[in-house]
Structure 1
Amino acid sequence: MPDLRFISILASVSLMAQPAVGLDLDRTAREALASRRGALVVLAMDGKVLALVNETIAQEKLPPGSVAKLVTAAAFMEERNVGPDHFLFCRGKGCWRAHGRIDLVSALAQSCSSTFYVLGSNLGEKNLERYFEETGFSPPEKKNLSSACGEGGLRISPLDLASFAVALANGGHLFRPYGGKLKNKKPRLIRALSWRPRTLEVLRAGMMLAISEGTAHKAFVPGTAIAGKTGTASRLDAPHRNYGWFLGFAPASRPRIAVCVLLNDATGYNEASSAARLVFSSFLKKEK
């Protein structure tokens, strides 16, 4: 018997699943990554691969850094039944600046590590691990709360992170990427995240604020209809050098594509964000 639940979910994302015919996102993605070592993935809202640069690296599980804060925020909102009006206080310890009184939307936009260490401590290791596994992350190697900020041996591949971005964009439906050079040739629902709509709304709001005035704002033109999250993490082979991450989707209000960028040797947030901007700009220009 056909899986009626899957058919219903697939139908619910079908209208936004396929971007304009003939749009050469693969070429744009290759130009955006240029000669830099890394990976760039573009997915439709049902997980279809629209562009995949450096397939091998795209499937390698790597430390995610601050992009994992999206999961920590979701876990806290779900487990503690709080929303955007929940405030914390950042004194700057373990963070790049003292943010003072800060809500969850701004904490995501500013990537406030102090906030997420507090959330992780409140949740505990087992709760965090459950939410990370649910969203495609490999369990942290070190049993400590640094995974709340994407450290502690937590891993995910660029391809799986792009799939997570799709779920954030399409209402919580986590699809296995398919098409292109991948073995999977048909859409397959991994799971529907049982998160409250409010939780997804807060995550999306934080990602939109990250673009307009947060950690990604220098890479994007004001008013850009994109939602995104940046991250950096120490490289496995060279701890003094960093992976640079960006994941996001566009248009922010009615998503059609999700993008994940990984750079193997990034000096800050803006490099991965800038590569993603080129893909989004090309897509949005041709969608008008």
Structure 2
Amino acid sequence: MNQPIRRLSMLVTLMFAAILASSTWIQVLGAQDINNADGNRRTQLENYARERGQILLSGQPIATSEPSSDDLQWQRVYTHPELYSHVTGYYSFTYGPGGGVEGAADGLLSGRDDKLFYDRITGTIAGRTPKGASLELTVRPKVQQAAEQALGDQRGAVVALDPRTGAILAMVSHPDYDPTGLVSHDPNVEKETWERLNSDPARPLVNRAIGGNLYPPGSVFKIVTAAAALEDGEWDPDSMLPGPANLDLPQTDVGLPNHGGQPCGPNDEVSLEIAVQNSCNTAFGWLGMELGGKKIRNQASKFGFGDDLQVPMDVAPSSVPTKLSPPQEAQVGIGQYDVRVTPLQVAMVSAAVANDGDVMRPYMIGSVLGSDLSTIEETKPEKLSEAMDAETSDQLTDMMELVVTNGTGTPAAVPGVSVAGKTGTAEHAPDAAPHAWFTGFAPADNPEVAVAVVVEDGGRAGSEAYGGSVAGPISSAVMKAALE
């Protein structure tokens, strides 16, 4: 064979090898990535050809699929769409699943998840039409409704947990939105809705309960600081702390004042118990410097700060800054400076106090149901961490009860029920009204519900807002609904 023919045959061989390799990759190795690629219309149409699973609360659907006469075959429909918008999210043909359970558990709802393999096989044998799994959530409609109504037209978020299990009983974020337009089969309606929601400066698509721009916690963080002090062993509820009207801070001419400019007790001293009850800034600022940033940060991590959580939606980790100067340690001790939290994390802090110091992993999917609504999988409560020992949690419970009976949190009281709680008023921007916080649990002696509430920019009270007066009544309404 002469040289030109040999070269041509080698080139042809290489071309065939390249075609074989590329087709092998496309059909085998890269098939899953291609199927899952955004904009793969064939895969999208295949998904719409199968009935998507329901999202259920107490057996009643809040998201379901109804037959459609167009190419997509099934139309997603939401019951009470705005009330549950941040729980369900949306399932859009153009923009995909997102915003809530629809996005975080898409594999289960669409029927593609490996957990459903046995259900698919038995369904085929039984002659059932393939469809996605249904999800029974832990959210309780009356608690969700109470949180929605109590927060009203104010921006912010409410989270309610069962402290014994970590089950999420309510999750409300305001402003909410109507996902109906996002699931329209009319591309123009989808696009208009998408652009309108994403351009809204109020950011209605952001679930403030678990993400977005995290909040400074203000004085609700004093629960963490108090826990660190009690766990350290050098302080108890009766320990006396400095509580002047203004705490001198080292390395700066700027002091740390109390609200109202008054000392927290006679002779500028106050017990830890009364400092919690009346939310004494100067006592907790001093305590922050005495403990130091490392001990406070370590205590916060025991409550779940820094953890990557899915409920099943991703939860933004809460954080306490590192490398603090003494003035910064004082600010961190009262939940200011660069401490940042989600309302879910704050609810977890109260839930840990309520649960003898144990932090339970939060979750929203109670069970996964097959195409015949039989239970495929049920969530078992899981301990995430131990934040403190039982003695410390008992001491904190007693102090937090005083907050509601005699201190800054009296508006959070529930008639006939013992409530433990903590208020917070968090500064977050110059010339802006503070965020109003309340967190707590009830009944204090046998807890069934833990709640966290944040109202942005003081809500309707504006610059006159305090955590107890603004967020406290919202917590009370949610606790009442949960206990009923």
2:321 to 129, 140, 143: 140
Distance apart, 1:283 and its partner CA = 3.4
**Percent identity of equivalent pairs:** 35
Are 2:248 and 1:50 equivalent residues in the alignment? Answer: no
SS in structure 1 opposite 2:236?
Answer: coil
**Distance change in 2, residues 1:219/1:24 (3 Å):** closer
- Alignment match, 1:95: 258
> How far apart are residue 186 of structure 1 and its match?
5.2
SS at match of 1:247: strand
Aligned residue for 1:162, secondary structure, equals helix
CA distance in 1, matches of 2:392, 2:354: 12
Shift of 1:141: 6.2
Q: Count residues in correspondence.
A: 262
Q: Distance in 1 between matches of 2:446 and 2:478?
A: 17
Which letter maps to 1:273?
Answer: G
> 2:409 touches 2:421 (CA, 8 Å); kept in 1?
yes
**2: distance between equivalents of 1:109 and 1:180?**
36
Aligned counterparts, 1:1-80, within 5 A: 24-45=142-163, 46-54=165-173, 56-60=207-211, 61-80=214-233
| Residue 111 (structure 1) aligned with residue 303 (structure 2) | no
**Residue 466 of structure 2 is aligned with which of 262, 268, 273?**
268
Residue aligning to 2:477: 278
* Normalised TM-score (structure 2): 0.51
Q: Contact 2:166/2:381 (CA < 8 Å) preserved in 1? A: yes
243, 252, 259: which one aligns with 2:435: 243
Name which of structure 1's ranges 64-73 and 52-61 shifts more when overlaid on structure 2.
52-61
Instruction: Report the AA paired with residue 33 of structure 1.
Output: L
Q: Which is further off, 62-71 or 89-98?
A: 89-98
Q: How many angstroms apart in 2 are the aligned matches of 1:152 and 1:158?
A: 18
Greater displacement, 197-206 / 135-144: 135-144
Q: Name the SS for the 2:339 alignment partner.
A: coil
Q: Distance in 2 between matches of 1:210 and 1:240?
A: 26
* Cα 1:185–1:160 shift into 2, 3 Å: farther
Deviates more, 1:122-131 or 1:244-253: 122-131
CA gap 1:239/1:130 in 2 versus in 1, 3 angstroms: farther
- C-alpha distance after superposition, 1:179-215 (max 9, x if no partner): 159xx9653322122x233321221111100001101
CA distance in 2, matches of 1:185, 1:155: 29
Output the CA distance in 1 between the equivalents of 2:479 and 2:304: 24
Q: Is the 8 A contact 1:232 1:245 kept in 2?
A: yes
Q: Deviations over 1:128-185 (max 9, x none)?
A: 221122223302267221100001100110011111211110111112211159xx96
CA root-mean-square deviation: 2.5
Matches within 5 A, 1:63-212: 63-93=216-246, 94-96=257-259, 97-100=262-265, 101-137=269-305, 138-140=319-321, 143=324, 144-145=328-329, 146-179=331-364, 187-193=381-387, 195-212=388-405
Q: Letter of the aligned partner of 1:173 in structure 2?
A: D
How far apart are 1:89 and its partner, in Å?
A: 3.4
* Stretch moving more, 219-228 or 101-110: 219-228
Q: What SS does the aligned partner of 1:24 have?
A: helix
Q: 1:219 to 1:259 in 2, by over 3 A?
A: closer
Residue type matched to 1:95 in 2? N
TM-superposed CA distance for 1:248, in Å, is: 0.5
- The amino acid across from 1:274 in the alignment is P
Equivalent position amino acid for 2:162 in 1: A
Greater relative CO, 1 or 2 (CA 8 Å, sep 6+): 1
- Greater mean deviation of Cα atoms: 74-83 or 259-268: 74-83
Unmatched 5+ stretches in structure 2? 1-138, 174-205, 247-256, 306-318, 367-377, 459-464
Decide whether the 8 Å contact of 2:293 with 2:322 is kept in 1: no
Which SS does the other structure have where 1:39 is aligned? strand
3-state DSSP class of the match of 1:265? helix
Distance between the aligned counterparts of 1:239 and 1:189, measured in 2? 42
> In structure 1, what is the Cα distance between the partners aligned to 2:431 and 2:221?
19
Q: Say whether the 8 Å CA contact 2:243–2:270 is kept in structure 1.
A: yes
Q: Which has the larger radius of gyration?
A: 2
Classify 1:232/1:185 alpha carbon distance in 2 versus 1 (closer, same or farther; 3 Å): farther
**Is the contact made by 1:33 and 1:275 (CA closer than 8 Å) also made in structure 2?**
yes
Name the amino acid aligned to 1:162: A
SS at match of 2:360: strand
Separation in structure 1 between the aligned mates of residue 389 and residue 271 of structure 2, nearest angstrom: 18
TM-score by length of 1: 0.83
DSSP-derived class of the 1:225 partner: coil
Please tell me whether the aligned partners of residues 140 and 169 of structure 2 are also in contact (alpha carbons under 8 angstroms): no
Provide the rounded CA distance (Å) in 1 between the counterparts of 2:144 and 2:417.
22
User: Match of 1:72, as an amino acid?
Assistant: T
Change (3 A) 1:113 1:222: farther
Q: CA, structure 1 residues 219+178, in 2 after alignment: closer, same or farther (shift >3 Å)?
A: closer
Q: 1:262 aligns to what SS in structure 2?
A: strand
- Structure 1, residues 99-147: CA drift from partner, whole Å, max 9, x if none? 2232111111100011111111111122122112222330226722110
Distance 2:399 2:391 in 1: 12
**Whole-angstrom distance in 2 between the partners of 1:219 and 1:42:** 14
